[in-house]
Amino acid sequence: MVYTMKDAFDFSGKVVLVTGGSRGIGAGIITAFGRLGARCVINYVADVEGRNKTDAERVAAALPEARVLQGNVGNPEHVGAMMERVRRELGGLDILVNNAGILQDRTIRKMAFEEWEGVLRVNLTGAFNCIQQASPILRPGGRIVNLASVSGQLGFFGQANYSASKAGLSPRDIHAAEVHDCFSISELLAYEILGFAPRGGAAKLLESGATALPAARRQFGAGDPACTMPVNPGGGLMGDGHPVGATGVRQVVEAYGQLTGSAGERQVPGVERFLTFNMGGSVTTTVVMIWGKEG
């Protein structure tokens, strides 16, 4: 039997806030949550033409009982007022998606300080403001999702400000991972989808030894790459069999062992955040979870 995404996930009663949700990726995310039963909050920032408000209201109109809240995520007072309304009107928050971001592309030579600082204030400080102010109203089992970008690793012409802001929300903050490697191509695609490698760069990532355990790198003389992020320390499907279920129970067991320092010879030093990525139902369902230590 093949399960659809709606069968796999039910967010009924969950309160979801997506920043920058008036259009683009943010609108797509909040719409998906709404269709799966979530109580949606769409954040936008006011603009002179009023376009952002109009777009946010259009997204909300297609969802049941969705709320639209104006607020500049780069302004801690705006964020505080927004979170207070969520607490007062909805009783708390279950999922925060830090999606808001802006572009002001220009070479460093021509970039004004306001263009540099403005992008970092929204893209990076905005995420900090929302995380800090959402934490007190986040209900048990709540989740915070930060949207990163491959620009945080690669950098593109005229995007020094944007790349710097996204490097602060980087996939490289993950210390180890388990991915679904039923076929070699599946593993390579996972690296690129998750942002561990740029498009077409997964094979080079593997060749560098960055995804291997330190002992394996030494054994095969791969040297010490500048950035390492061991993947599948548990052996993947070849070593441990199928991850078991849509959430990848076997992967979660490995995450627990790594985070508690009880993984034995497979232990990755200094793991504080561990990612699991599983696929099921002929790739109709994908589940990504990031595990970490409290405190």
pLDDT digit string, tens, across residues 110-159? 778 777 777 888 878 888 899 999 999 999 988 888 887 656 555 566 66
* Spatial distance between the Cα atoms of 14 and 65, rounded to a whole number of angstroms: 13
| 19/162 same-domain check | yes
Residues involved in catalysis = 162
CB-CB contact of 26 with 56 (8 Å): no
Contacts of 75 (CB under 8 A, 6+ apart): 129
Domain end position, chosen among 126, 141, 169: 169
**What pLDDT score was predicted for residue 68?**
95
Higher per-residue pLDDT: 117 or 247 = 117
| 134/21 same-domain check | yes
| 117/189 same-domain check | no
The stretches of the chain forming alpha helices (DSSP H) are 5-8, 24-35, 51-61, 76-90, 113-120, 126-134, 160-167, 184-193, 202-207, 214-219, 236-240, 249-260
| 24/163 same-domain check | yes
Phi first, then psi, for residue 239 (nearest 5°) are: -90, -35
| 185/204 same-domain check | yes
**What pLDDT score was predicted for residue 44?**
94
| 180/245 same-domain check | yes
| 155/185 same-domain check | no
DSSP-assigned beta bridge partners for residue 97: 18, 145
Q: Which of 16-30, 98-112, 214-228 reaches the highest mean pLDDT?
A: 16-30
| 9/127 same-domain check | yes
| 232/250 same-domain check | yes
How many structural domains does the chain have? 2
Domain end position, chosen among 140, 169, 198: 169
Q: What is the domain range of residue 244?
A: 173-292
For the cut 50, the answer to whether the pLDDT of residue 168 exceeds it is yes
Rg value, the chain, Cα: 20
End-to-end CA distance of the chain: 41
| 240/183 same-domain check | yes
Domain end position, chosen among 169, 199, 215: 169
| 25/159 same-domain check | yes
pTM score: 0.60
